Amino acid sequence: MLLTLIVNAAQSMAAAQQDGLIQRGRLSIGTSRTNGSVRITITDNGAGIAPEHREQIFEPFFTTKAVGSGTGQGLAIAYDIVVQKHHGRLSVEVPQERGAVLVIELPVSGGTPEGTRTL
């Protein structure tokens, strides 16, 4: 799931570079822990997300790529994993200048789930 988000960011940066919007892509990944959750941010300086697409990006089969270039499954699957399977949050922030920040928030449980081992 994280790899999918990183690949999306890389593709956005490549498109921005090809369009002459940036000279070099910049991707950063950050983590923090607050109020019982772990927060992961993936920030890029790519083309960003158009306002008219922001409400749809987590919908299955939605893509802004050319026909045959994207399936529209990456963000939908990531959303399902984070929100449905782990009861977390997946959101997007779009800075005014350019790029996008994907924010993953996952709850931290107090103990080890049954059926798992800590090594």
DSSP labels for 79-104?
HIIIIIIT--EEEEE--SSS-EEEEE
Is residue 64 very low, low, confident or very high in pLDDT (cuts 50, 70, 90)? confident
Question: CB of 92 within 8 A of CB of 82?
Answer: no
Indicate if the pLDDT at residue 42 is higher than 90: yes
What CATH number matches the domain at 2-107, 3.30.710.10, 3.90.550.10, 3.30.565.10, 3.40.50.720?
Answer: 3.30.565.10
What single-letter amino acid sits at 77?
I
Is residue 80 very low, low, confident or very high in pLDDT (cuts 50, 70, 90)? very high
Three-class SS state of 71: coil
Residue 71's pLDDT is what?
65
Three-class SS state of 18: helix
Full-model pTM:
0.80
Domain ranges within the chain, ordered by starting residue: 2-107
